[in-house]
Amino acid sequence: MTLKQHYDLIIIGAGAGGGTLAYALASTGKNILLLERGGYLPREKSNWNPDEIFLNQRYQTQEKWLDSNNQSFSPEAFYFVGGNTKVYGAALQRMRAEDFGELRHFDGISPAWPLGYDTFEPYYTRAESLFKLHGLRGEDPTEPPATNEYPFPPFEHEPRIQEVADQLQNLGLNPYHLTLALNRDEQHPENRPCIRCNTCDPYPCLVDAKCDAQVTCVDPALKQDNVTLLMNAKVTRLITNNEGKIIQAVEAEIDGETQQFSSDLVVLSCGAINSATLLLKSTNSHHPNGLANSSGLVGRNLMLHNHSALIAASHQPNETVFQKTLGINDFYFQGPKQDYPLGQIQLTGKTVWQRLKHMAEGEIPQVVLEYIAKHSVDWWITTEDLPQPENHVTLNSQGQIVVNYTPNNLKPHQELISTLEQYLKQLDFYLFWTKQMPVKVVWHQAGTCKFGNDPKDSVLDLNCQTHDVNNLYVVDSSFFPALGAVNPTLTIVANALRVADHLKDQWG
Ligand SMILES: Cc1cc2nc3c(=O)[nH]c(=O)nc-3n(C[C@H](O)[C@H](O)[C@H](O)COP(=O)(O)OP(=O)(O)OC[C@H]3O[C@@H](n4cnc5c(N)ncnc54)[C@H](O)[C@@H]3O)c2cc1C
């Protein structure tokens, strides 16, 4: 085994958290190594081929994980430079100010964060600028206070979606333009790589117009000589010094060989499930239950969001090409008949028959799927799931990832779906196909190393440094103490910018 060059900082995982951190610290001149288990997602025609995306799962990991019944499943996780953001829907939102406080939900309490919205506000502003957000401030009644306008105006609705938006508004709702991280500048047509196509969410972007973590953060960071990216480098273990207080080496498998790297600081950013399991794997005599796990909370409080697709068909064909432009947060904090939060409604990428086939439980003739896809407007419904210690990730004796997750807070989720259906029935929709996402849809995984003040009740301190190991940080979706019901990535990015400021202060 060879011990490679010593670095100032090693970042493990080049996704939303790790990529943003690398970007924010690149200008410091510090010697930074990014270790990423994947390579660059290939740019090829298959990026935009629905057969490849929905029927062949071409870009999804081939790994198999186990659920709480010991059943094997293929997680919808994507190991590339840019991480899961390579295929994300790019709908980025601030958590609501209230999400940072304690909120009573149907199934219990969503706990308060140890830091308030005010701390995150300036970082959200920077994150929105970095990820080129398009939107219109003030349209969404639940939007938290913000110091800046969005950097770009909203993506306009196409005619069918505008019609739906107008009709919902007439029924008293407040549909708003979804806030999107796409590189399209109407004022400067020469700078318009986004072509508003029908292969955006959840496809990789063939023209690199999606502001994902690779395009937005990693590639610009690599323009600095002091930043190095090592791909196909799967980190397998973190090794401490004899006292167990310092990470002395990071062990990775590269081309079938084990190599070690060392650095002053190590930042783990593999996504909530992989970061936690890497800590659990890295046991030693000082950390018998997993590294940085004196609280016993590493891997616990896993949250995934309650997600459902609602395919709503009318007799009118839906010719929309770029559909993901509308959101509804009227029931975010309470339902029409409920005094507890229901969650968020947004449009998703325009459904094609292949996506419906992927969703279907049994065999449905292709001609039927094609008819539905031609006539549907397609919604994505998200309800907060509450952090519960029983929902945890662990490893079995063969080192395989086990996801023990039982959904909670499902009643408000069903109520949100039926509330939307009631509204859509008052328009011209008559056919509704709902599919609740199973555990393999780990897109919004979070919470497995929550941050907090008390080392007994959190894994990370307020700067996302582990309480137990001095030079180890976790800067991905693991740190969330509660998830809210908005999409998580803007908060992950904002937090990475915040931790970067902290590290810069440390470096002086
Ligand atoms: C289809 C889809 C649609 C989505 N849509 C949205 C959306 O519209 N809005 C939104 O906010 N969020 C969306 N998300 C979620 C979003 O992508 C994630 O919340 C975000 O990427 C998480 O950031 P992260 O840094 O925690 O992890 P990731 O971005 O996944 O990064 C983790 C990185 O670590 C690497 N890695 C893992 N293990 C190791 C290891 N052992 N060694 C080295 N490297 C490792 C991975 O390859 C990856 O690059 C979507 C996700 C998916 C899959």
Q: For ligand 1, what atom is nearest to the CA of residue 477? A: 26
From 80, 84, 219, give the residue whose CB has the most ligand 1 atoms within 8 Å, as the site to mutate.
84
Q: Using 50, 70 and 90 to split pLDDT, how confident is the model at 3?
A: low
Question: 303, 99 in Cβ contact below 8 A?
Answer: no
pLDDT at residue 326 in the model: 98
**Cα dist. 220→13, 295, 379, 461 in Å?**
16, 37, 34, 29
Best substitution site from 74, 85, 211, 305 to test ligand 1's pocket, by max atoms within 8 Å of Cβ? 85
pLDDT, one tens digit per residue, over 96-151 is 999 999 999 999 999 999 999 999 999 999 999 999 999 999 999 999 999 999 99
| Strand 32-35 versus strand 3-12 pairing type | parallel
> Contact 39/14 with Cβ under 8 angstroms?
no
Q: Kindly indicate the confidence band of residue 4, based on its pLDDT and cuts at 50, 70 and 90.
A: low
Q: Where are the domains of the chain?
A: 3-43+52-507
Check whether 177 is labelled as a binding-site residue: no
Q: Provide the 8-state DSSP code for 85.
A: G
443 among the known binding-site residues? yes
In DSSP terms, which residues pair with 39 in a beta bridge?
80
In angstroms, the CA 20 to CA 475 distance is 9
Residue 276 to residue 291: CA distance in whole angstroms:
9
Q: Residue 192 has which token pair?
A: 């318009």
Atom of ligand 1 nearest to the CA of 489: 11
pLDDT tens-digit profile of 401-450? 999 999 999 999 999 999 999 999 999 999 999 999 999 999 999 999 99
pLDDT tens digit sequence for 375-388: 999 999 999 999 99
* pLDDT value of position 190: 79
* Closest ligand 1 atom to Cα of 488: 11
Residue 337 Cα distances to 39, 306, 418, angstroms = 49, 20, 12
Show the 3-state SS of 289-327: CCCCCCCCCCCCCCECCEEEEEEEEECCCCCCCCCCCEE
pLDDT, residue 1, reads 53
β-strand pairing of 103-105 with 376-383:
unpaired
CATH superfamily of 3-43+52-507: FAD/NAD(P)-binding domain (3.50.50.60)
* R_g of the chain, CA atoms, integer Å: 22
Name residues contacting ligand 1 (CB within 6 A). Answer: 12-18, 35-38, 76, 78-80, 83-85, 87-92, 202, 213, 234-235, 269-271, 274, 278, 443-444, 476-477, 487-489, 492
Nearest CA to ligand 1 atom 29: 15
Identify the residue whose C-alpha is closest to ligand 1 atom 2.
88
Render pLDDT for 187-230 as a digit per residue (tens, 0 to 9): 887 777 999 999 999 999 999 999 999 999 999 999 999 999 99
Those residues whose C-beta lies under 8 Å from the C-beta of residue 163, and which sit 6 or more positions away, are none
Say how far apart CA 34 and CA 263 lie, in whole Å.
11
